[in-house]
Chain A
Amino acid sequence: MPAETTLAADIGIGLVAAHQVCKTYATGEAAGRLVLDRVDFILREGEIVAILGKSGSGKSTFLRILAGLTEPSQGYASYRGRRIENPVHGIAMVFQSFALFPWLTVLGNVELGLEAQGVPLSERHHRAIAAIDLIGLDGFESAYPKELSGGMRQRVGFARALVVNPDVLLLDEPFSQLDVLTAETLRGDIEDLWRDRRIPTKGIILVSHNIEDAVFLADRIIVFGSDPGCIRADIPVPLPRPRDQANPIFRSLVDQVYALLTTVPGAEAKRRTEPIGIGYRLPDASIQKLTGLLEALTQPPYEGRADLPKLAESEHLSTDDLMVMVETLQLLGFAQAGGGDIEILPAGRAFAAADLQHRKQMFADHMRRAVPLAAHIRRVLDERPGHSAPEGRFLAELEDYLSEEEARRVFETVINWGRYAELFAYDIDSGVLSLENP
């Protein structure tokens, strides 16, 4: 479903809405880097919406704009029709890193928001205790966060958010720092609370990169495309609650979202036929893992083709990890993805079969062909009399397209690959790239 229909179907103002929201971060270029491009969004009463996207798709930034923590460069967000310029009463947030105050007990952390609102002491206690009981933390009131496991800490995070009786709950990757079992338990508990209407919350927005979490919890899944972030699809999840992960409709929805996230429609496909530019945000995949994945793909049970969700599960890869690797393999021409599947290409098969030296040779060839930045670096080094160049010049070139931090990340990725492929050498002390390996 294309993005344009999202608003058309909507009537009324909803709980939270975004109107043509853009966000630009300052970079070396005067225009800066666009991370969110004209996003329209609406959260209606009684629904949970999940926002999915690759890392760097701006979904976290978007959530922060709705929270009033970040200011949009253009457009605006609103809560019940009122413009959001600061954090507003009625919207609470749960953080990926929990963000608990380590010097306050569980009770102190939960009471914090009430204290700031000026709720009298006795009422504060009662409400905090009630929230703690609700989330299953009774008995831990006087514990400090560092005494708790990750799952328990995130429960404190939820209690702190729920105690202020928010209309809207914003969840920023709330399960991503927990192990799978803990995450599933907490997810189930939250869903119970929501289904049984034991919390007054009228709408939830979940930002995640875990597809299963999204399909399990959400009434609607919004898929963000990257570079710049924009809404690419809006998928309703018409399954009754509680949901069964083994249900075929559940599985097919997971596959559908996988397919959306790994294939490159519209604007991004156009880029694939034209060569990508120097400022392309190279995925920082580890070569060891890529090699392992290619080897696994050539062997049974896959025999050259695999269903992505299944692959993630049997190879113990997180969705994010797998996404990065799939993108890299496609970029280098070792594999192609489509419809939620990945298929190994002849080059990938040859790479998996080759020995160490040949692999390096093949990797180097593919890199020079498919990664303009690598080709550019190599060309500069070949042309220069001393066959060496300072890193600063390449970083400066990257910063024309990317933020300083992102430029550094992309640069480190290309260095890493280039070292493996022996395309060029890099000395971290002097920050000099050269053709000579010592």
Chain B
Amino acid sequence: MAERWGLPIVAWPSRLRPSMWDGIALPLVFGGLILLAWASRQMSQPFHPGQPLPISLDARYLPEYALRTVMRMALALAASLVFSITYAAAAAKSRRAEKLLIPMLDVLQSVPILGFLSITVTGFIALFPGSLLGYECAAIFAIFTSQAWNMTFSLYQSFIGVPHDLREAARMYHLSPWHSFWQLEMPFALPQLVWNMMMSVSGGWFFVVASEAISVNGSTVLLPGIGSYIAVAIDHRDLQAVGYAIFAMLVLILIYDQLLFRPLLAWVQRFKVETIVGEEIEPPWFLVMVQRARLFRGLAWLAAMAARASSRVSQALPALPYAARRNRRLDRILDIAWAAVLLGGAVAALVEIVYFVRAEVGWTEVGHVFLLGAVTLLRVIVLIALAAVVWVPVGVWIGLRPRLARRIQPVIQFLAAFPANLFFPIVVSLIVAYRLEPDIWLSPLMILGTQWYILFNVIAGTLALPTDYLLVAGNLGIRNWLWWRRLILPGIFPAFVTGAVTASGGSWNASIVSEIARWGDTTLRATGIGAYIATETEKGDFPRIALGITVLCLYVLVFNRLLWRRLYNLAEERLRLD
């Protein structure tokens, strides 16, 4: 024992003896560092508006572009993490902050992501004049907005859901707030956070592609990356180049999956609060390497030192504050004051919006935009219904065959992560070639990337159905429609709703890029609010962009409240199996 738990300094040199995994780890780490350094230097290149950024369709340049794209993704993910931890911690710790932050988050997550890009790009450019950094920041910010909200929600929910007895134990054993945050709250939130991060990144690929070609005041800046590559391929009607881009993206997603998420998912298993040992996950090779290679152990030792330093910091801080004897009256007064401040702010913002719209746009146009929103709403509803009709039977069929399901699940996860906008050119070229009606045929693009969530969840829901139920149904001779109506549909309903909520949210977002499409110099335009926002963004008409986004946002909010949340509650309360 004494030897095992002796001073770590004594144990340190023997730990450093290289293992076979170091052979792979060393070049990976240093190669990665060099690439990162190079890519980040590229980001801050001097740049003046109007100056062309050459994007070559030569496949040899694709690795470079892919690296730049990955870099944006990684930065956005890091920013999302920092943001979500701060925001969620604030919302979970302060009752008053919670009142503002949580509804705000709900609104933020229904704002179309590309809308953020349209609104913020000018600001970012002004921030870094004469440099490409402003454009980079705008693109990264757009990706950030596609990732941050759901991560924040997940963290917030975990923070407020920390089991009561663990909180009491932390207080009983005098953990400081700092210590308790890192020892209790964060570890508890980790599994859910990693899962949401994975979903976020899946969605993020779509926007990384969409946000690299930035239009400002009528001119388009192409940031080197896969998204710009494909934009240029569309200009040149080059289907072969589109194919290259799709392949490059495939490789990228695979690498992210293998190097980041598989290891993370396996690693966070230990943070799950379960009373029994769950299903063991086969440790992914990269995790094995990280855990075995001496080099990484050295890094782990550094991390342990940091943790120790942090624990020293925490001792300087006071113990968890006692739920102080509240002054009820003062509390009430503060509550009322805070509510008044919030209400006042909301009223002021509303007045400002009304003035703004009246001055710049006019009420007829507002009505027109609402009408366009209704058209897009109709599209979303029809498409979700269609996707359900197609994928529910398929999903149930797969789900009833668990072995097939296990094999097919990673494929579907992959399909969900794949940015559907890379396929748009192929579909659009067909529409152009056969002169199809854009109002109808552009619509499926909206759901191209998000339909997989429905399939994925239906499979998972079917898998989760207890075998007893199926056996009983067989025993009672329940077949055909009755079998669907009484057993399968109620059984998979909660899973279906989860999938459909995700799919519908994604479709609203996709409307901005899918209701308007180009192939060479042909532009196809469908009627809808997405096309409206895209057109105004190209023109750089700020008031109209704001109007379009606000209306779209309203539609999403109302649609979610009236339909999805109700279905969700119904599923939660009535049809849960456990």
Tell me if chain B binds chain A. yes
Decide yes or no whether A290 CB sits under 8 A from chain B. no
Inter-chain contacts of B171 with A (CB < 8 A): 69, 86-87
A residues near B325, Cβ cutoff 8 Å = 71
With A99-B165, A102-B271 known to touch, is A112 a contact of B173 (CB < 8 Å)?
yes
With A101-B187, A103-B271, A146-B276 given, is the CB distance from A113 to B174 under 8 Å? Answer: yes
Which one of A89-97, A384-392, A399-407 is at the interface? A89-97
A122 at the interface (CB under 8 A from B): yes
Contact of B5 among A68, A104, A129, A146 (CB under 8 A): A129
Q: Which residues of A contact B271 (CB under 8 A)?
A: 102-103
A222 and B308 alpha carbons, distance in the complex (Å): 44
A420 at the B interface (CB under 8 A): no
Given A71-B322, A71-B323, also A102-B311 (CB < 8 A):
no
**A69 to B275 alpha-carbon distance, docked (Å):** 25
Q: Say which one of B58-66, B176-184, B436-444 lies at the interface with A.
A: B176-184
A113 to B6, CA, bound (A): 20
Q: B558 contacts the other chain (Cβ, under 8 Å)?
A: no
Number of interface residues of A (CB under 8 A): 38
Q: Encode contact with B along A102-141: 1 for CB under 8 Å, 0 otherwise.
A: 1110000000110111100110011001000000000000
Identify which of residues 134-172 in chain B touch chain A, using a CB-to-CB cut-off of 8 Å. Answer: 163, 165-166, 168-169, 171-172
Annotate A305-338 by CB proximity to B: 1 below 8 A, 0 otherwise.
Answer: 0000000000000000000000000000000000
Q: Which residues of chain A have C-beta atoms less than 8 A from B319's C-beta?
A: 86-87
- Least Cβ–Cβ distance between A335 and chain B, in angstroms: 37
Question: Would you call A85 an interface residue if the criterion is a C-beta within 8 Å of the partner chain's C-beta atoms?
Answer: yes
Interface: A160 (CB within 8 A) = yes
Q: Which residue of B lies closest to A125 (CB)?
A: B5
Cα separation A160 to B173 with both chains bound (whole Å): 9
> Shortest distance in angstroms between A124's beta carbon and chain B's nearest beta carbon?
9
| B276 A116 Cβ-Cβ under 8 A | no
User: Are B175 and A112 within 8 A (Cβ)?
Assistant: yes
Q: Point out the residues of chain A lying under 8 angstroms from B1, CB to CB.
A: 129
Q: Which of B6, B172, B273, B308 contacts A102 (CB 8 A)?
A: B273
- Bound Cα distance from A146 to B279, whole angstroms: 12
Give the Cβ gap from B110 to chain A, nearest Cβ, in Å. 30
By a CB distance below 8 angstroms, the chain A residues around B277 are 146-147
Q: Does A39 contact B (CB under 8 A)?
A: no
What chain B residues lie within 8 Å of A121 (beta carbons)? 7-8, 308
Residues of B294-343 contacting chain A, CB below 8 A: 308, 311-312, 314-315, 319-320, 322-323, 325
A146 touching B274, Cβ below 8 Å: yes
Interface string of B259-280 (1 = CB under 8 A from A): 0000000000011111111000
Question: What A residues does B5 contact at CB under 8 A?
Answer: 122, 125-126, 129
Whether A103 and B187, one on each chain, are in contact in the complex, defined by CB atoms closer than 8 angstroms, is yes
Contact B174 A146 (CB under 8 A): no
Q: Does A280 contact B (CB under 8 A)?
A: no
The answer to whether the Cβ of A164 comes within 8 Å of any Cβ in the partner chain is: yes
The CA of A92 and the CA of B166, in the complex, are separated in Å by 14
Instruction: Find out whether the CB atom of B172 lies under 8 angstroms from the CB atom of A67.
Output: yes
- CA A101 to CA B271, docked complex, whole Å: 9
Q: What is the CA–CA distance of A93 and B165 in the complex, to the nearest angstrom?
A: 11
Residues B274 and A102 in contact, CB atoms below 8 Å apart: yes
A116 and B274 contact, Cβ closer than 8 Å, known pairs A71-B325, A85-B322, A122-B6: no
Complex Cα gap A71–B323 (Å): 8
Q: Which chain B residue shows the least CB distance to A96? A: B165
Instruction: Indicate if the CB atoms of A101 and B270 lie closer than 8 Å.
Output: no
Confirm or deny: A144 has a beta carbon within 8 angstroms of a beta carbon on chain B: yes
Given A95-B169, A118-B312: A68 in contact with B270 (beta carbons within 8 A):
no
Is the pair A115, B311 in contact by a Cβ cutoff of 8 Å?
Answer: yes
By a CB distance below 8 angstroms, the chain B residues around A67 are 172
Given A102-B270, A102-B273, check contact A117 B184 (CB 8 Å).
no
Chain A neighbourhood of B272, CB < 8 A: 102
Report the Cα distance A89→B175, complex, angstroms. 12
| B191 (CB) vs chain A CBs: closest residue | A103
- Closest chain B CB from A107 CB (angstroms): 8
Q: How far is the CB of B550 from chain A (nearest CB, A)?
A: 37
Q: Smallest distance from the beta carbon of A62 to chain B beta carbons, Å?
A: 15
Contacts of B322 in A (CB 8 A): 68, 71, 85-86
Q: In the complex, A100→B308 CA distance in Å?
A: 21
| A-contact 0/1 string along B238-275, CB 8 Å cutoff | 00000000000000000000000000000000111111
A122 with B173: in contact, given A97-B165, A146-B276 (CB under 8 Å)?
A: no
For A112, the closest partner residue in chain B by CB is B173
Is B183 within 8 A of A112, CB to CB?
yes
Task: Give the chain A neighbours of B174 by CB distance below 8 A.
Answer: 87, 89, 113, 116-117
CB-CB under 8 A from A69, the residues of chain B are 168, 171-172
Give chain A residues whose Cβ lies under 8 Å from the Cβ of B276: 146
- Closest approach, in angstroms, between the C-beta of B270 and any C-beta of chain A? 6
Q: Which residues of B contact A146 (CB under 8 A)?
A: 274-277
Instruction: Tell me how far the C-beta of A156 lies from the nearest C-beta in chain B, rounded to whole angstroms.
Output: 11
Residue of A115, A117, A122, A125 ringed by the most chain B CB atoms within 10 A: A115
Q: Which residues of B contact A (CB under 8 A)?
A: 1, 5-8, 163, 165-166, 168-169, 171-176, 179, 183-184, 187, 270-277, 308, 311-312, 314-315, 319-320, 322-323, 325, 574
Can you list 28 A-B pairs, Cβ within 8 angstroms, ordered by A?
A: A64-B168, A68-B322, A69-B171, A71-B323, A85-B322, A86-B322, A87-B171, A87-B174, A89-B174, A92-B172, A95-B165, A95-B168, A98-B165, A99-B165, A99-B168, A100-B169, A101-B166, A101-B169, A101-B183, A101-B187, A102-B272, A103-B271, A112-B175, A113-B173, A115-B311, A116-B314, A116-B315, A147-B277
